[in-house]
Structure 1
Amino acid sequence: MVFAHGFGTDQTAWKDIVPAFSDSYKIVLFDYVGANEATTPYFNPRKYKQLYAYADDILDIFEELHLKDVFFVGHSAGGMSGTLAAIQEPDWFSQLILLNASPCYLDEESYKGGFSHEVLDGLFKQMESNFHAWASGFAPMVMANTDRPQFADAFTKTLTGMRPDVALAIAKLIFHSDHRKDITKLTHKTLLVQATEDYAVPNDVGYYMEKHMPNAVLAFVETEGHLPHISDPDKVIKAIKPFLN
């Protein structure tokens, strides 16, 4: 099983999920380039302009470790990167589990992605003007679960562990991406795990993906926030296990 984190986190985001599967599967964890201080030196803005670059990195990891028949678990943009990788090299993947993933974050005339151009422009300006202030507001909003502020505090810590200019560049490539046509090409059995309340990915996105992905099934987890694997790992594990079996 390969676990791929999303924006603003690193591989430690899976610490409460992995133990549930480590007895049955070989576990592979990694940090996306730019996610933290250790990987930032490898971030080249000319290379990382689209999620395809991260998909290539995933395939490089598979090749280096000689991985086959992979159960891929990806959160948010990390999940969409894995989707692009599986389309490129379908024989390397067995099944995919996409957690709160989205092919497109922008609202269109007949598509509700969750964000308008104006909102995203404001978000990017905030990141540029005062990154740490932006992160301290963004993390609680996206994490939700206000009754358990420790989760937002932890997310703030990994978010601010990113170099501000790199974080801005990655945020732009994610929020401006549109892979609605790509997801129609994924033929693998895919589980879409969606939190019932997610500021970043509306429920409509989950329904859209289930409708347009050839072999996908949507499962809602009764929780709030964009990072349920951190805030409610037991519920996420409960959703994943029957799919694998």
Structure 2
Amino acid sequence: MSVLVRNNVRLLGNQQADKTLVFAHGFGTDQTAWNGVAPAFFDTHRVVLFDYVGANEITAPHFNPRKYKQLYSFADDILDIFDELELRDVVFIGHSAGGMSGTLAAIQEPTWFSKLVLLNASPCYVDQENYIGGFNTEVLEALFAQMESNFHAWASGFAPMIMANPDRPQYAAAFAKTLSAMRPDVALCIAKVIFYSDHRSDITKLMHPTLLLQNKDDVAVPIDVSYYLEKYMPNARLSLIDGEGHLPHISDPDKVVQKIKLFLN
């Protein structure tokens, strides 16, 4: 099967442009999460959107739990897309675990990437000695138990907590919709891969210019994580977004667009 079918790849924007932007979504969303951001670059860039395998009904049939046991597998899918489309000199823009998968891909094939933008990304979600990841093992085990016992009830409660912005409930409702569109068993597998991943040793190998975008208030990824990334990524700089929640590209897309454009220029 073509990777373009497997990952529901779409080519948008200016197909004659010299520069290509690849947008990668995070857990619980799909490529539609970029609807408020990607169109701002259609005139000036070739834009590639895709869905990670397992993100929705379209890609769930291709999910194999034996394959997708670590983020490296999702990184391989990114490289498959690049290879199929013959993409080089790409600016990769990834949210959360989608951004960390892109980081791993860029480390494997550094010449295929030019810059990265990592939005509310984290190399490790579990608190460790001298590291604040935001979660502990007990909290995660309780979260997974809730997902397993009643996935849709869990999603309806998880979405507003992660999205925040209670004065704009439509965003939490949109997130709950894409989250609930995941097949429960697949969602549980992917969640465990993400939350138990630890790529702190990998991020030191990323040499590309990297913009770290982070909401000041994010229950999923504490701001300490972004300071950690900035400290240990050789060529990264942090730019804080004056907002709350884990999905600023949905809740405050204009702010995200502005910061990306400054970085590109």
Give the secondary-structure state (helix, strand or coil) at the position aligned to 1:85: helix
Structural mapping, 1:166-205, within 5 Å: 166-205=186-225
Q: Are 2:257 and 1:237 equivalent residues in the alignment?
A: yes
Counterpart CA distance in 1 for 2:202 and 2:67 is: 20
1:111 alignment partner AA: Y
1:22 shift after superposition = 1.1
Identity rate, percent:
74
2:132 alignment partner AA: K
1:20 shift after superposition = 1.1
Structural mapping, 1:82-97, within 5 Å: 82-97=102-117
1:46 shift after superposition = 0.2
Give the secondary-structure state (helix, strand or coil) at the position aligned to 2:240: strand
1:212 shift after superposition = 0.1
Counterpart CA distance in 1 for 2:115 and 2:42 is: 17
Structural mapping, 1:107-122, within 5 Å: 107-122=127-142
1:221 alignment partner AA: I
1:237 shift after superposition = 0.9
Structural mapping, 1:5-20, within 5 Å: 5-20=25-40
2:183 is aligned to: 163
Counterpart CA distance in 2 for 1:191 and 1:63 is: 24
1:120 alignment partner AA: L
1:80 alignment partner AA: M
1:219 shift after superposition = 0.3
Counterpart CA distance in 1 for 2:42 and 2:103 is: 23
Q: Are 2:27 and 1:4 equivalent residues in the alignment?
A: no
1:180 shift after superposition = 0.1
Give the secondary-structure state (helix, strand or coil) at the position aligned to 2:215: strand
1:144 is aligned to: 164
1:104 shift after superposition = 0.2
Q: Superposition RMSD on alpha carbons, in Å?
A: 0.4
Structure 2 counterpart of 1:154, from 168, 174, 181: 174
Residue by residue over 1:218-245, the C-alpha shift from the partner in whole angstroms, topping out at 9 and shown as x without a partner, is 0000000000000000011111111100
Residue by residue over 1:153-209, the C-alpha shift from the partner in whole angstroms, topping out at 9 and shown as x without a partner, is 000000000000000000000000000000000000000000000000000000000
Residue by residue over 1:49-84, the C-alpha shift from the partner in whole angstroms, topping out at 9 and shown as x without a partner, is 000000000000000001010000000000000000
1:50 is aligned to: 70
Q: Are 2:57 and 1:37 equivalent residues in the alignment?
A: yes
1:224 alignment partner AA: E
2:146 is aligned to: 126
For structure 1, list consecutive stretches of 5 or more residues without a partner in the other structure.
none
Q: Are 2:90 and 1:74 equivalent residues in the alignment?
A: no
1:209 is aligned to: 229
Q: Are 2:241 and 1:221 equivalent residues in the alignment?
A: yes
Q: Which runs of 4+ in 1 moved over 2 A?
A: none
1:41 alignment partner AA: P
1:45 shift after superposition = 0.2
Counterpart CA distance in 2 for 1:223 and 1:201 is: 13
TM-score (norm 1): 1.00
Counterpart CA distance in 2 for 1:18 and 1:155 is: 18
For structure 2, list consecutive stretches of 5 or more residues without a partner in the other structure.
1-20
Counterpart CA distance in 1 for 2:246 and 2:36 is: 16
1:11 shift after superposition = 0.2
Counterpart CA distance in 2 for 1:9 and 1:19 is: 18
Give the secondary-structure state (helix, strand or coil) at the position aligned to 2:123: coil
TM-score (norm 2): 0.92
Counterpart CA distance in 2 for 1:178 and 1:187 is: 19
Counterpart CA distance in 2 for 1:237 and 1:118 is: 37
